[in-house]
Amino acid sequence: MRILLTGAAGFIGSAIADTLTAHGHEIVALDALLPQAHGVPPETRHPLVRGDVRDAELVRELLRGVDAVCHQAAMVGHGVDPSDMPDYAAHNDLGTAVLLAAMHETGVRRLVLASSMVVYGEGRYRCAEDGLVRPGQRRAEDLDAGRFEPPCPHCAEPLEPELVPEEAVLDPRSTYAATKLAQEHLAAAWARQTGGEVRALRYHNVYGPWMPNGTPYAGVASLFRSALHRGLAPTVLEDGRQRRDFVHVHDVAVANLAALETSGPPGELDAVNICSGQPRTIGELAESLSLACGGPAPEVVGGARPNDVRHVVADPAKARRVLGFRATVEFADGVREFAEAPLRVGEKQV
């Protein structure tokens, strides 16, 4: 299969490129090499076209003779503040719209889209009295007082977090999250209008070699690792008991391979969680990395970033059913590897 892979030089994109070529597929690799993601441009293991997915003429040219598109290009991460909004919307949503229009014009009908757990907002919660409930945004005064668990919106009693299935309510709570959901909506509209196939892979907390480092867009695993390699203790917000689903980049690449090699339902978007299904806390990640690096113990400092959610852990059942995918890298093994893995050098911050 000949596949256009956008974001091919990125953290996840480069792992996908390796996996696809190892399984006999031909890739057309495209990447804008944004400094927020790459800093120093990386050495790539595959021929790379340096260009922007918003360049319609270039994208149409690259789509000639392509069987499917694997769309990884995006601005990612928590960002800095709302001043990031135009850049996120331009790269993620306009870029996706240009790509979809070019696919329509060139007759390419298969898309695998990198989506994210962030489209869910808070995870899935159950109240002993009220059943499944959707908590509201946590209040600043509660966070300041160290009350981190979201209460039941009906009776204010504590909630029990559960695994999040794909049919859960979507409630993006950051700029990045809003743009990822918009990408899904654009792709769904394209599928309905063209009869095309879209698999939207909702990645959970991806970690592994060549994560971005030293930028405000870096993930928590990279931030912890960077601190430890500077001899500093990882700084853990809230009480460290926030639950997440950490999935290794190798497993994410394998999931993309499976999504490209299996047919999805035509004329609609098929969303699939890409996850381990194993709850881990942020504190547990910090402690495991500290031990693996031989560094200082984490410092739990309280507080929270605006719009951070408390618990998000995914249900992996659909990925097993429709893709035959199951994460294989165990958390302990992945963390030990990550403790010494190379990171991507980010742009210098001032």
Q: Judge if 238 and 325 occupy the same domain.
A: yes
Q: Judge if 98 and 108 occupy the same domain.
A: yes
pLDDT at site 41:
56
Q: Judge if 173 and 250 occupy the same domain.
A: yes
Q: Judge if 59 and 152 occupy the same domain.
A: no
Q: Judge if 118 and 133 occupy the same domain.
A: no
Q: Judge if 183 and 108 occupy the same domain.
A: yes
Establish if 154 belongs to a structural domain: yes
Q: Are 174 and 79 in contact, with CB atoms under 8 Å apart?
A: yes
From the candidates 88, 120, 176, 207, which is the catalytic residue? 176
Q: Judge if 29 and 146 occupy the same domain.
A: no
Establish if 350 belongs to a structural domain: no
Residue written as token pair 């910090």: 286
Q: Judge if 103 and 183 occupy the same domain.
A: yes
User: In degrees rounded to 5, what are phi and psi of residue 101?
Assistant: -65, -40
pLDDT at site 37:
59
Q: Are 314 and 163 in contact, with CB atoms under 8 Å apart?
A: yes
pLDDT at site 348:
36
pLDDT at site 335:
97
Tell me the CATH number at 274: 3.40.50.720
Domain count across the chain: 2
Establish if 345 belongs to a structural domain: no
Q: Are 78 and 217 in contact, with CB atoms under 8 Å apart?
A: yes
Q: Judge if 144 and 34 occupy the same domain.
A: no
CB burial string 221-231: b at 16+ within 10 A, e below: bbbbbbbbeee
Q: Judge if 171 and 243 occupy the same domain.
A: yes
**Residue-range definition of the domain harbouring residue 80:** 2-124+162-340
Establish if 101 belongs to a structural domain: yes
Establish if 200 belongs to a structural domain: yes
User: In degrees rounded to 5, what are phi and psi of residue 342?
Assistant: -70, 145
On whether the pTM is more than 0.85, the answer is: yes
Establish if 346 belongs to a structural domain: no
120 flagged as catalytic: no
Enter the tokens of residue 167. Answer: 């049919």
pLDDT, tens only, 137-167: 899 899 999 999 999 999 999 999 999 999 9
Residues of the chain with pLDDT under 50: 347-350
pLDDT at site 216:
61
CA gap 53, 60 in Å, rounded = 10
pLDDT at site 347:
43
pLDDT at site 132:
95
Establish if 349 belongs to a structural domain: no
Q: What is the mean pLDDT of the chain?
A: 93
Q: Judge if 132 and 281 occupy the same domain.
A: no
